[in-house]
Structure 1
């Protein structure tokens, strides 16, 4: 029965996207990459067809899809003998069909792997996380982080990346490659294992990135890492362990999260969310200077904002739509950056945006 349902679904899809469904194009790297974030459950909802249509009818060409999500779940069901079976969830109902659909629509597939923020592994093995005398430590939002000093944690996440590669993803994007925010203020109260790694937080994070790139090199995939935008404009964010330069030296793509809503006063801008062009332009100038100092710099592909940050309060935010998204893209282009990724947690992207408004 499931086989026949799948056949019917394919026929429906081919009617909706006749040309793209009939011609299987390569999903090798296309330049420049311009993508959207897609959470795993969305891939099995009618909304996914709207996202396919968005890409078909614009200059977008990529999707960043959760394979290891913010909770630590593998987002599809692997073989029962997989070490990740117990932490998997069937959010992606049919991974093969999903990958074939992306290929049919010439969409470059990027697998998002949330690394050190991991409620599942921390609960399963607290010794791989941070503890207090009362038990497993959680941050103010109720999330646990695994310990970046432990190579066992590194290998666990690289194994998740290999699962994504087996599905056919062309790029692995590591997110939450860091210690918890404000970790330096609580670390003295925490119990955790640092015996297997000699070095500070920045070294731990940087060495993980280098190690991951080396381990994935036989698979012929691109490796990208998300970093805080703030880590670029200061020498290093030692509290969370992110040094922009040391990470950038060991990746193919660096994706700074530069959402205007996430900044306090900077670049002479008092309320950055109200001035997306100036904020992004100011950031890009700083990033370019840092990348120039690297012998083989990665591609810059920042995350930009396609959501309204009403939580900032009246007078501190504006409604983001076509103009605001295009201003961010224009600002990047003005500094020679032509790749970007759009973030909207609910995957509701602004219609009628010109993604090449130069």
Structure 2
């Protein structure tokens, strides 16, 4: 930090250049004694409050020293053995401070003239959206900060390159980092950057709560785990009946009698985790006849989707079957269950029936809906993700196969939903496609073709607004065509050939042929 002096031997003439005050000393015949010193004005751009740190002193005493700032008198106040100027918040730009000794006291010494520049504009800061980081690995934060002299990420610092570029490592498990770019004057630009944890993938089978409670159905799945045929078990939290498989502590679940108590959640999770597999909790969201009936009978009609005449909508699913995704209490109930499950130790929360009922939407009433059904569904996922992530779990959404091409039929906008989940799980069961879909003449008899083509469509949509992964539900049941190991393998291979090495197998009976899943 430069110090500017008035000396009996030297006349001080200051030459000003932008952002720098340089002193040029001219000899005179005055005796060699320092007259005044100004500190606190560095030779680089400064902040508007720079005068707070300026101090003026003289070995001859402080009486008679005068300061002028931009041609106007700057009041000085004693502060011990120095003078401090009145604190003034300066405008951005170039300023001139002139310090003069009392007239006639120190001979012909000229005033000290200090030119400095005030900079109150933060540097530019651009941070590229980071790639999701896979568990146990390290990713990168990249960006640029032209005009910055220092960039930090959560306390770790670096100097940006000549073009302002910077790179920082980031570990998996970090949810948000704070990037700070600081310029010479001390101005800061700050950005909080979310770090997505990349889903590790899965080879999973579906189990209901009843199936887990049955040794006959549970043990074959555990044997597949031990043989390395699967690495994940999907276990129902709340199913299509509205029943919760374990004893939930969520107050509304207890009030409406939703708890089935078929298994002990912690015991099941401990057992599966000890076997070295992940556990995905399937949570059926808005198809919930237990909540629907209880709400209707208690007079909370807005919690239920209705017909245009004010009756509870059924649409072939049963009385009070679909709760209203726009109702705050319905949303809060499902999020509370998701958060509870994540806290218990479920590795993923995978929503199902995260949609409106299929059918003519003009025949349905969604009380309180102020936007489109598609936007409301996406906003629910956004609310839920924060609660789920807080406990270290991933969030997924099961979607209809037709959602890729006819999203309005079930209110599943894949790009919008993808912004708020770690993966979408399209149900691309070959038996559910009509003839000619995706150019496939007979989808159920051509499992490879329909699976590959439909999944390519979903991958494109899931990448539109982010880097969301696609993990498909594949058919492990027979409908019109007998599905055995060959048909199941054909779907798995189709997914692999389009770059997807994960899957969930669905069989409502929870019986799986291990021959379809070779050990890894």
Equivalent residue number for residue 65 of structure 2: none
Equivalent residue number for residue 245 of structure 2: 75
CA distance 1:117–1:170, change in 2 (3 Å): same
Say yes or no: does 1:66 pair with 2:236: yes
Say yes or no: does 1:288 pair with 2:464: no
1:236-315 correspondence runs (5 A): 236-265=406-435, 266-294=437-465, 296-309=466-479
Equivalent residue number for residue 352 of structure 1: 515
Q: Is the 8 A contact 1:123 1:136 kept in 2?
A: no
Q: Is the 8 A contact 1:326 1:355 kept in 2?
A: no
CA distance in 1, matches of 2:518, 2:316: 37
Equivalent residue number for residue 86 of structure 2: none
The superposition leaves residues 322-357 of structure 1 with CA deviations (integer Å, 9 ceiling, x where unpaired) of 100110011011111101000000101123123589
Equivalent residue number for residue 131 of structure 1: 306
Equivalent residue number for residue 332 of structure 1: 495
Say yes or no: does 1:222 pair with 2:222: no
CA distance 1:269–1:208, change in 2 (3 Å): same
CA distance in 2, matches of 1:324, 1:100: 33
CA distance in 2, matches of 1:183, 1:75: 32
- Secondary structure (helix, strand or coil) at the match of 1:32 reads coil
CA distance 1:160–1:41, change in 2 (3 Å): same
CA distance 1:219–1:30, change in 2 (3 Å): closer
Structure 2 residues without counterparts, runs of 5 or longer: 1-196
- Secondary structure (helix, strand or coil) at the match of 1:347 reads coil
CA distance 1:322–1:201, change in 2 (3 Å): same
Say yes or no: does 1:37 pair with 2:206: yes
CA distance in 1, matches of 2:265, 2:446: 40
Say yes or no: does 1:157 pair with 2:157: no
CA distance 1:30–1:184, change in 2 (3 Å): closer
CA distance in 2, matches of 1:103, 1:302: 23
What is the TM-score normalised by the length of structure 1? 0.82
Q: Per chain length, whose mean CA-contact separation is higher, i.e. which structure has more relative contact order (CA < 8 Å, sep 6+)?
A: 1
- Secondary structure (helix, strand or coil) at the match of 1:332 reads helix
Which protein has the larger Cα radius of gyration, Structure 1 or Structure 2?
2
Deviation at 1:136, TM superposition (A): 2.6
Deviation at 1:135, TM superposition (A): 4.1
Say yes or no: does 1:57 pair with 2:231: no
Equivalent residue number for residue 6 of structure 2: none
- Secondary structure (helix, strand or coil) at the match of 1:203 reads helix
CA distance in 2, matches of 1:169, 1:88: 18
Q: Which moved more, 1:124-133 or 1:332-341?
A: 124-133
CA distance in 2, matches of 1:183, 1:101: 45
Q: 1:182 aligns with which of 359, 366, 370?
A: 359
CA distance 1:345–1:129, change in 2 (3 Å): same
The superposition leaves residues 102-145 of structure 1 with CA deviations (integer Å, 9 ceiling, x where unpaired) of 01111101111100111011101121002355743212131510
CA distance in 2, matches of 1:288, 1:319: 28
Say yes or no: does 1:199 pair with 2:374: no
- Secondary structure (helix, strand or coil) at the match of 1:220 reads coil
Deviation at 1:32, TM superposition (A): 3.2
What is the TM-score normalised by the length of structure 2? 0.57
Structure 1 residues without counterparts, runs of 5 or longer: 1-27, 310-316
- Secondary structure (helix, strand or coil) at the match of 1:352 reads helix
Deviation at 1:264, TM superposition (A): 0.6
Say yes or no: does 1:89 pair with 2:257: no
Q: Is the 8 A contact 1:29 1:108 kept in 2?
A: no
Q: Figure out how many residues of one structure are paired with residues of the other and give that number.
A: 313
CA distance in 2, matches of 1:124, 1:229: 32
